[in-house]
Amino acid sequence: MRVCVGTTVHHPEDARITHRQIGALLDAGHEVTFVAPFTHCNVTPRPGIRAVDVPRAVGLHRGKALRAAASALRRAVRDADLLLVHDIELLLALPRRRPPTVWDVHEDTIGALRAKAYLPGPLRTVLPPLIRAVEGRAERRLHLILAEESYRERFPGPHPVVPNHTYVPPAPPAPPGDSRVVYVGQISLARGAAEMVEIARRLRPHGIRLDLIGPADAAVRPMLRDAQRAGLLDWFGYVPNNHALRMAEGALAGLSLLHDVPNYRESTPTKVVEYMARGIPVVTTPLPRAASLVGRVDCGTIVPFGDVGAVAGAVVQSVLRLREDAERRAAMGARGYVEALNHHHWPAVAGAFVALLERWAQAADTVPALSPGRTVPA
């Protein structure tokens, strides 16, 4: 099977797209053409794929990227058996002549609008009905896979769920240490950037450092640079997901301080599962799914929402309690690892994901024909 995968919004090393889905397709012996912003993100395409470079869609200036993507997709799908796209924007750039097409829904597009500071006020009112119209058209005309069960409220059709699992090491990682706290992922205000800088400031007198591993939104980069110059934290910038998680191993705790915004409210933060997979106790804000998972497994602590100072204070207290009790943090890390290995390991669903695409590539129609409520795996 020849699969064309496309994105202009996500990083070409996005964990779900590249490390999980494309990796699973290549492991199954399929050919992959990947349309993505390699040059913009300074990424060398991984071996084994046919790479097509396009501009990245950023902020309000997305017209050039969309036109380039439309042209690239027209060329890339000529010999493809299936087209898999990851951005709602690409639904506006699909070739008229194309193979069976799949949209992987792994964001609440409307819910994410609140976190996009660059959007002027009027657009925040105009965009939601337009997005709903595009989503509705896609549901009628394309195959959809969903990253979260909660997305069924937006897409009531019988669409399979391909969960955002991670790779879990086959052997338990080293137990948590006592000298550093980590954060892995995109850094933004809505993901707790200001809180983390304050946490770093308060932890420094205790000899605990904060490692931030991931790219940052333009709005918070000056704040992070200033904090790094002052010696409050280490910000490593973008690091490929598998390397970033190895860097995180041995940390005292992993932070997930997402704000209470619609885009995060009904999702299980991937970073929570990634920390668990690496044997790291989690410190999370009380988003329902994150709090439910961490509380049920007892693999970390839950801190309340609040202003920057209040959240920072609660996190620092939790971190200091963990440092004082090596047995407790080791037990939390071990419980999290076992839970991740048994229930959130990507290879356990990778085969079903590939089989799903294989079936759609061979189907003559373009309408999903699955039993309602089906999840991958069942």
69 & 138 share domain = yes
The stretch 11-33 carries a mean pLDDT of 95
144 & 25 share domain = yes
**List of residues 6+ apart from 349 with CB closer than 8 A:** 162, 163, 165, 376, 377
Whether residue 135 lies inside any domain: the answer is: yes
The pLDDT of residue 354: 97
The pLDDT of residue 193: 98
The stretch 56-74 carries a mean pLDDT of 84
The pLDDT of residue 371: 36
Whether residue 370 lies inside any domain: the answer is: no
158 & 279 share domain = no
Residue 155 pLDDT > 80? yes
215 & 277 share domain = yes
Instruction: Categorize the per-residue pLDDT at 266 as very low, low, confident or very high, splitting at 50, 70 and 90.
Output: confident
Instruction: Categorize the per-residue pLDDT at 128 as very low, low, confident or very high, splitting at 50, 70 and 90.
Output: confident
The pLDDT of residue 114: 64
153 & 199 share domain = no
**Mean pLDDT lowest among 27-41, 131-145, 159-173, 184-198:** 131-145
112 & 221 share domain = no
The pLDDT of residue 358: 97
Residue 120 pLDDT > 70? no
The pLDDT of residue 58: 75
**Mean pLDDT lowest among 120-129, 199-208, 246-255:** 120-129
The pLDDT of residue 269: 85
Residue 136 pLDDT > 90? no
The stretch 10-34 carries a mean pLDDT of 95
Range of the domain at 112: 2-165+346-362
The stretch 217-229 carries a mean pLDDT of 95
152 & 286 share domain = no
Whether residue 368 lies inside any domain: the answer is: no
Whether residue 371 lies inside any domain: the answer is: no
The pLDDT of residue 79: 93
Residue 129 pLDDT > 90? no
The pLDDT of residue 108: 76
The pLDDT of residue 372: 36
Instruction: Categorize the per-residue pLDDT at 368 as very low, low, confident or very high, splitting at 50, 70 and 90.
Output: very low
Residue 135 pLDDT > 90? no
Beta bridge partners of 234: 211
Residue 365 pLDDT > 70? no
The pLDDT of residue 186: 92
- Number of separate domains in the chain: 2
**Mean pLDDT lowest among 113-127, 181-195, 229-243, 248-262:** 113-127
12 & 157 share domain = yes
Instruction: Categorize the per-residue pLDDT at 374 as very low, low, confident or very high, splitting at 50, 70 and 90.
Output: very low
90 & 207 share domain = no
Q: Of all residues in the chain, what percent carry a pLDDT higher than 70?
A: 91
The pLDDT of residue 373: 41
CATH number at residue 103: 3.40.50.2000
186 & 205 share domain = yes
Residue 351 pLDDT > 90? yes
261 & 283 share domain = yes
For all residues of the chain together, what is the average pLDDT? Answer: 90
156 & 243 share domain = no
Instruction: Categorize the per-residue pLDDT at 84 as very low, low, confident or very high, splitting at 50, 70 and 90.
Output: very high
